[in-house]
Chains A and B, each alone.
Chain A
């Protein structure tokens, strides 16, 4: 007896082992049905499985010798009972038991229903049938339970195996996908790098990248050309040792003034000052004018280096000069015929050539007025062109500001007289001699005073004051204040008065001929000179303009 049982158990173990590595559950079930038939010496068997979430059993396998087609088990049939109780049910005489279905009863005399279950896992049942009646013992029941457990273990292993296989497959799939992604990214990166390199090599400006210690990490061919060293030589060197830069007067540009230093220190883009050209001295002694732009390299909020773009502006400067000369020429050419008209009409209007009829005089006055407007426009055109082409150059010279003020007032004399305006001047008796750009100071004073004269009604007051203020040992500021009690600027329009071509609504009525360029030019000139302009104004009360201009003071004092 014991030997047979041992044989049976070893056969069962064998079956479990055979199932390892099989992922198809049906194959495992088939093996177990056949093995159980053998072990329990049954005539045929079949198996139903059920998922915990599913109320219905699903058909898995029946042995070939099964004489009929088993029907879907009933909700409270033997199968369901076995499944729910996880206990084998052994029926020695199905006829007497009464709860086996008729179709089954005709094809079997006794039956063992084995739950395929192990620990938490409950998979279904094995139904093992006999054509004869049987007398089952407790041993049969234990064996049945054991077979069920073994089958369940095999299924569990199989499912585990399957899920491992699947994860492996998924993993492989994901690895493949990621590899493909990586490949694409690499390709893009390489393409980008090739493009970057193409741009870097073909670009007309010298590009040098430095780390945060100002050591060069990259240089393009144009940088090699400008600084006359190969990229290999440049790499690793401190940028300040490679390209020493000088101002026009020969003094060296200190490290702390250089855009690359400032960009790294302040973490923002810095450009070299267009009005203060810098030069790089080549090996052959020639000076190359250059413009520098430095941009910080910021990684995760930290400045880790900077890129210095160096541009050889030799050609730009020649172009600027040519443009500037052209504008100067054009404005000269335009002014000559305008002066002709002006003078001929003047002689006519003053009846120096002959008496005029009142109508003729009126018409000629209109010609003269239009001509003056054209002359003004040519001036404005010249100035706007200078501002917009950037060909405006500050040229300091000794300037007698009192004389300039008098000159301007002299030009405006007819208007001042007509309107009986009261002009008061507050100019210090002793002004140190100072240097300032003549055209800037003249244009500023002329525009601001002319506006006051134009927009102040009869018997109005205009006050002009000049003041010098020392801000530091080398820095001095000239303050110009021009105040009037004229038309004023409407509050809503005060933000626009420095805008090009803008004219306030009230002044358009007072003087329909203005161009709207005057204050735009004044502001640009003042700011290009490093100065500031602002104003206070109330409509119908008056306007005060304040201008602050940096000046250079000479040591000796002169009396003006």
Chain B
């Protein structure tokens, strides 16, 4: 583990998407934990305390919104920035996510990898807002 790298957690149940995202962030110099469902993600988050979490919504074992709710119940997890990255464009989900203090809600198919990286960097104060 390299101590000077920024550590993030990506929770995404679609393996191919998880891989391409994680690889991208690694190329950008991040340290990345990968989790494939909400339960695994929650465990990993509470154990490793990443700087930021990228979270999918639709997952088979514990969906993203449930995971988020549980995360917010934790003292540390209450403040951690979470970026929702989902393909659901249902405004109800969006509202629910907003209610749990997320930094953004990105529809996967609308954004490129670079856009996701930019958003994360902005949040972590690594890049100027456009």
Contact = CB atoms under 8 A, between A and B. Distances in A.
Contact of B109 (A328, A335, A344, A352): A335
Interface of B is mostly: helix
Chain A interface: which size bin? 20 to 34
Contacts of A439: 89, 91
Interface stretch (B20-28, B39-47, B76-84): B20-28
B110 A343 contact: no
Nearest to B27: A352
Interface centre among B94, B107, B109, B130 (most CB of A within 10 A): B109
Contact of A343 (B21, B88, B90, B92): B21
Contact of B16 (A340, A346, A378, A397): A340
B92 A395 contact: yes
A336 interface: yes
Contacts of A166: none
A521 to B, nearest CB: 13
Interface string B119-130: 000000000001
Interface in B87-101: 87-92, 94-95
Interface centre among A332, A382, A437, A438 (most CB of B within 10 A): A332
Task: State the 4 A-B residue pairs at the shortest beta-carbon distance, nearest first.
Answer: A339-B108, A335-B87, A335-B109, A375-B109
A469 B95 CA distance: 27
B6 interface: no
Nearest to A329: B58
A347 B113 contact: yes
B98 to A, nearest CB: 9
B112 interface: yes
A336 B17 contact: yes
A328 B27 CA distance: 34
Contacts of A379: 89
B20 A340 contact: yes
Contact of A338 (B23, B109, B112, B130): B109
A63 interface: no
Contacts of B94: 438
15 contacts: A336-B17, A336-B87, A338-B109, A339-B17, A339-B109, A340-B16, A340-B17, A342-B109, A343-B21, A343-B113, A344-B20, A375-B109, A395-B91, A411-B110, A439-B89
Interface of A: 328, 331-332, 335-336, 338-340, 342-344, 346-347, 350, 352, 375, 378-379, 382, 395, 397, 410-411, 437-439
Contacts of A378: 109
Given A378-B109, A397-B95, A343 B24 contact: yes
Interface of A is mostly: helix
B92 A339 contact: no
A438 B91 contact: yes
B113 A328 contact: no
Contacts of B107: 335
Given A331-B89, A375-B109, 16 more contacts: A328-B90, A335-B107, A335-B109, A336-B87, A339-B17, A339-B108, A340-B14, A340-B16, A342-B112, A343-B21, A347-B24, A379-B89, A395-B91, A410-B130, A439-B89, A439-B91
A344 B87 CA distance: 17
Interface in B5-53: 14, 16-17, 20-21, 23-24, 27
Contacts of B130: 410
A297 B109 CA distance: 54
A346 B109 contact: no
B95 A328 contact: no
Nearest to B98: A397
A66 B24 CA distance: 140
B27 A343 contact: no
Contacts of A331: 87, 89
Given A336-B14, A342-B109, A347 B20 contact: yes
Contacts of A346: 112-114
Contacts of B88: 328, 332
